Amino acid sequence: AQSVTQPDIHITVSEGASLELRCNYSYGATPYLFWYVQSPGQGLQLLLKYFSGDTLVQGIKGFEAEFKRSQSSFNLRKPSVHWSDAAEYFCAVGARDDKIIFGKGTRLHILP
């Protein structure tokens, strides 16, 4: 079955600290992988995506993610978080030109 697991429901980090959000997926075909961010009252914004090639992908707002096929993982990282990064983050998987399957999300809290 196709699925995405985000094992951390909530994560709290101090402003300026590094961040890693975990994501594992189960997908039968070659996956297209995404990270989206959703701020309160806002729509989903794409942070980054992986389709092929370099397994380390760079996104907007200083985020990056690394695709590890052997671990079926696509973890999101940021070296130094800002208070404005507080939001809900969704990992997602899909096939080309197909629906997207989302994880349940990780809510990021930032301590001043």
Partner 1 sequence: DTGVSQDPRHKITKRGQNVTFRCDPISEHNRLYWYRQTLGQGPEFLTYFQNEAQLEKSRLLSDRFSAERPKGSFSTLEIQRTEQGDSAMYLCASSLFGLVGNEQFFGPGTRLTVL
Q: Tokens 């809510």 identify what position? A: 107
Q: Is residue 11 part of the contact set for partner 1 (CB under 8 A)?
A: no
**Nearer to partner 1 among residue 98 and residue 112 (C-beta):** 98
Listed ranges 11-19, 62-70, 75-83, 103-111: which one lies at the site for partner 1 (CB under 8 A): 103-111
Of 28, 43, 53, 112, the residue at the interface with partner 1 (CB under 8 A) is: 43
DSSP string, 31-90: PEEEEEEE-TT--EEEEEEE-SS-SEEE-GGG-EEEEEGGGTEEEEEESS--GGG-EEEE
Please count the residues of this chain forming the interface with partner 1, following the rule CB under 8 A. Answer: 24
Residue 12 CB contacts under 8 Å (≥ 6 apart), including other chains: 108, 109, 110, 111
Exactly one of 12, 14, 42, 58 binds partner 1 (CB under 8 A); that residue is 42
- CB of 92 within 8 A of CB of 23? no
Q: Does 29 bind partner 1 (CB under 8 A)?
A: no
The smaller minimum CB distance to partner 1, of residues 13 and 91, is found at 91
Part of the chain binding partner 1 (CB under 8 A), chosen from 11-19, 23-31, 64-72, 90-98:
90-98
